[in-house]
A and B are shown apart, each in its own frame.
Chain A
Amino acid sequence: MKALVVEDQQLFREAVADELTFYGFNASTAEDGEEGLMAASVADYDVILSDMRMPKRDGRWFLGELRKTQKCAPPFIFMTGFTDLTPQDAFEMGADGFLGKPVDSDRLRAVVSKVCKPIETRWEQKPDSPAKQIFVRNFDSIESEFTKTRISLGRGGMFLAADETPLRTGDLVEFKIHFKEGPFRSLEGIGTIVWKRDSCLEPYLSGYGIDFEFLTEESLPEWLNHLRSKEIVPFVPKS
């Protein structure tokens, strides 16, 4: 397994690279976005971890350029203390996850091991802790205009509209979504809320950005078909 760590500060670059090496990765490093993109275009990485603010080209630019050609892979994780991008925008641009900096080794391990799993097995394991709320939704078809404003699927999660958003980022939720027609009939599983949006003054509907953790046996084949049918950039779409 190969990992690329893009970070301008030596201390963090080496710490993360060491940690990944310890997990069995072959870790390469780059010092800014431009170098990172160069490295990513000549070698196939299984995961890229990048800082956001860097000299020359920053992490945002790097992600944008990378996803022009490598739309769904490799997984891209931001590690940053302060984020210039809102999580909504970052996931929309094709980032697969966020880590605070200095990086917590347990979180690093959990996040990297999840995104590095092949999609066939990534959503097989049911989380141990219970979900805080269950969303049951019935729609006509994923392709209808009305439905599109209320649910939208990305590469690893979805946006789901909700009138009230009392839950918090990091909460687990269960979802049971059914469609009357179309390529998709059911989507059932458990996910983590990665962002939430309140309705007021937004052009979009209020709701949650949900990163899938687990999908039921029934839902998994349809979901995998969806992933294979086209190249999707957003990990969790904004709307």
Chain B
Amino acid sequence: MRFLLNDTSNVHVLIVEPAASVRMLITDILRSLGYRNLHSAGSGKDAVKLLEVEEIHWVILPLMATESVNALQILGLILNEPSLNHTATTLLLEPNSEDYCLPLAFEMGLLSWAPKSYIKESLASEFQDLMKCFALNHGNVTLTAADYLRRFLSEKRMHLSRQSLEQNLLSCFPGSAKLLLNMAEAEVLAGNEARAIDLLSQAEIIDERLGPTCKQLRDKYLKNVSNINLSSRENTLGIKTVVVIDPDTDVLFAATEMLQQIGVNSVETFENGLLAFNWIKQCGTEPDLIIMEWRLPGLSGPLLIQRIRQEGFLQVPIIIASSLVKRDEKPLLMEMGVDEVLEKPFDRTTFFSVIIWAIQQNRVPTEQKSLERKFRRLIHAGQNAEAERILAQLFADPRVNEGSKKGLQAEYLFSQADFNSACDLAVQALKLGGDSLSLLNIVGKCLLKLNQFEKALQCFEKANSLCSINIERLLTIAEINIKLDRTEAAERACDAALHLDAANGPALQAKCGIDIESGDLEKAKLGIGMLDSVPRIASYINNRAIALARAGRYEESITLYKRAILCLEPKWPELGTTVAYNLGLAYARYGDYDSALHILKDLAYEPKLGIQRKALALFKKLERTVKSGIRLFQEEPEDHMGNVDEVSETSVKVESDPVKLCLDSLMVKIAAKRGDIGCYLIFNSLDEIADRSKDLIKSTPRFTHRKAIATVKSETLKTGT
């Protein structure tokens, strides 16, 4: 997918320009630079037609603001059309009258721009500069685009936007010393000198060769800042306690040495996972950083991490230093809150760049993360006003990216039971490059509430493919499969959960439910005997029975209830009677009023039972029904299990399907990640984007991908070979 701009013999270039003479001029320049595959179009409309049939790698075009198809529309097309995603664009603009469109253009993935010129030499040197910039950035389109964008933002003094650009770039290229320098400059310009000083020192630690450049920057911007002891590297990263856990004493020594060099005085080292955990637990306060091997004696990495987080140490960044993390385990690590994986063997430079990145990521967003956590706690506790206040605070923070904002808003709306809007927002957040795992979870939960089980399942399964060890999610997948009458798939998910944690209560309950259904009552009874609480079994049975009944398999649903009563009654009589009531209800629904009355009679006149009143009411209703001879159930079945309502059929009535969510196309959209297309998903202008430029993208030109058609439209002129 990578394209190399300077691979002149293979790159196909499209030159768009209304004026024929200028078009020829640009064509000549590019040819003299060695490009062989040149195409040209006289208007935006023709350009779109050409893009439909030809594989183009690079488009050079003017703004064409007054034309029917303008440059920004073409940018939008390239961005949204998967087949065009990897086409680079260069804008040729009138420097003062047209550059208003640049912030938006860069947001949409523009590679570079150059001032319009009709002089061969100056245009040629612009293209040569682009080649140089591209080569200096080792062929990376994002860094190249960022160079152009940075220059523009600095000239226009858009310091806030610049700051956010640098921050996002750093998160894409963790530990890049050069980007740290750019970030430092951005911070100075935004008036944040203290942070700039830290960043400069960090860049120097990562790459000692940057010393002279750092000095230049200090001389340029920080001369007047007093109270800086530049020679001291004390606490450059602002971290005090670091825990290093590795069975290899060499790593422990090396890490201690290096950490002391940057002023960390308290480094605790452990060769054993369990000892480390006990120390951390006893210590009570969170360490500032944990660096650990993945395969550890005593307590292995995956379990150690979970225990650390369970203990409430949620803030501490964790770095895994190991070459034993399998590729497919990495997303799972991220979900468990691991910041970085450091491949072994690592050297000094990588060690520092990874640490510095992890600390930084954790620091600025620490506030964000802790705010997010607080927000979630408040939602959970139903303190909506306070939750809204925190949300507003997060929204006002320019460092929180748009994706996260929309995601949080989606969570809030979910808590307000506005599932349609929540779902919409979560999907938007996914498109903005938000954290796909948690967003997929929200979308899935919303769809569940909206009774879109198939789609919900797709979401959870997609999330599961990103991280397959989340037990709660596996059980949700099992539950949905039960609703969809796919017992085998449910059992598979349930087994997967038990495989991860054989003693997991909820998973065991789900398993018992499946055993009951398959008729293995002895096994089920044994399982139930070992459990401390069984609400999930009852909910499983009820969901399953409803699913069966809905499929017209009443007999099977009745058998299921009977078996459940047999299994539950000995240890959980209360639940047994609830299921018995449901059995009565099922009989009634089936039209077997005699059996229903028979069962309900026992329940209705047993005053000790919680369900007695309900049973009595139903019993009387049934008696009347039998006398009058009118069928009792025409409407949807009632739901009697309190804890089932999360996945219940009747909790939300959906008249239409306003969530026009096509998961496949969504997945294509989120497939373009940060760093794939220029500064797309990296740059979001914080300064006002000119309305004029927004007007330019009000409509989208029609585009039909037709790569098989080799003929080029007669009105477009093809030059070169």
Contact = CB atoms under 8 A, between A and B. Distances in A.
Interface of A: 9, 11-12, 51-53, 78, 80-87, 98-102, 104, 107, 163-166, 198, 200-201
B334 interface: no
B344 interface: yes
Interface residues of B, number: 28
B135 A163 contact: yes
A159 B328 CA distance: 32
Contacts of A85: 347
Contact of B248 (A12, A99, A163, A200): A12
B343 to A, nearest CB: 7
Given A81-B344, A102-B248, A201 B255 contact: no
A101 B345 contact: yes
Contacts of B324: 100, 102, 104
B253 interface: yes
Contacts of B248: 9, 12, 81-82, 101-102
Contacts of A198: 138
Given A198-B138, A201-B209, A102 B345 contact: no
Interface string B339-359: 000011111000100000000
Contacts of B346: 81-83
Most B CB within 10 A of own CB, among A78, A102, A164: A102
A86 B324 CA distance: 21
A37 to B, nearest CB: 19
B225 to A, nearest CB: 27
B2 A166 contact: yes
Interface in B6-59: none
14 contacts: A11-B247, A52-B250, A80-B345, A81-B246, A100-B323, A100-B324, A101-B250, A101-B251, A102-B324, A104-B323, A104-B324, A163-B135, A164-B139, A166-B2
Contacts of B2: 166
A78 B346 CA distance: 12
A100 B138 contact: no
Contacts of B344: 80-82, 100-101
A81 B138 contact: no
B86 interface: no
B260 to A, nearest CB: 15
The CB with the most chain B CB atoms within 10 A, among A12, A82, A98, A102, is that of A82
B321 interface: yes
Interface string B133-174: 001001110000000000000000000000000000000000
B661 interface: no
Nearest to A51: B250
A52 B250 CA distance: 9
Contacts of B250: 9, 51-53, 80-82, 101
B270 to A, nearest CB: 14
Contacts of A9: 247-250
B254 to A, nearest CB: 4
B247 A82 contact: no
A78 B345 contact: yes
B484 to A, nearest CB: 38
Contacts of B345: 52, 78, 80-83, 98-101
B295 interface: yes
A33 to B, nearest CB: 13
Contacts of B293: 81, 102
A51 B346 CA distance: 14
A190 B321 CA distance: 30
A98 B248 CA distance: 16
